[in-house]
C-alpha cells in the first residue's frame, strides 16, 4: 500500500529536523575549534573560516 502524502510530508519534516540538528552541531565544532579551519571553493578561494583562522598567526593558541 503506498504511503499517503501526509505521511511522506511528516517523514520529510523529521529528516529535515535531523539534518538541521546535525548542521548546527557541526557549525559549533567548526566555530569552537582551536585550530584554524578554512573552507575553500573548487577554485581555491576562501569561502568560510572559523574564529581561530581569523586570528593572526602570532597570537594563535598553541595546541
Per-residue pLDDT band for 36 (boundaries 50, 70, 90) equals: very high
Helix, strand, coil % over all residues of the chain, rounded to 5: 55, 10, 35
What is the model's pLDDT at position 59?
59
**Bridge partners of 46?**
40
Place of cell 504511503: 3
> What is the per-residue pLDDT for 60?
53
The yes-or-no verdict on residue 48 having pLDDT over 80 is yes
Phi, psi for 39 (deg, rounded to 5): -100, 125
Amino acid at each position: 500500500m503506498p504511503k499517503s502524502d501526509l505521511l511522506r510530508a511528516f517523514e520529510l519534516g523529521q529528516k529535515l529536523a535531523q539534518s538541521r540538528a546535525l548542521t548546527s552541531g557541526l557549525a559549533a565544532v567548526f566555530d569552537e575549534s582551536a585550530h584554524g579551519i578554512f573552507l575553500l571553493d573548487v577554485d581555491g578561494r576562501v569561502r568560510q573560516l572559523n574564529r581561530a583562522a581569523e586570528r593572526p598567526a602570532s597570537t594563535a593558541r598553541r595546541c
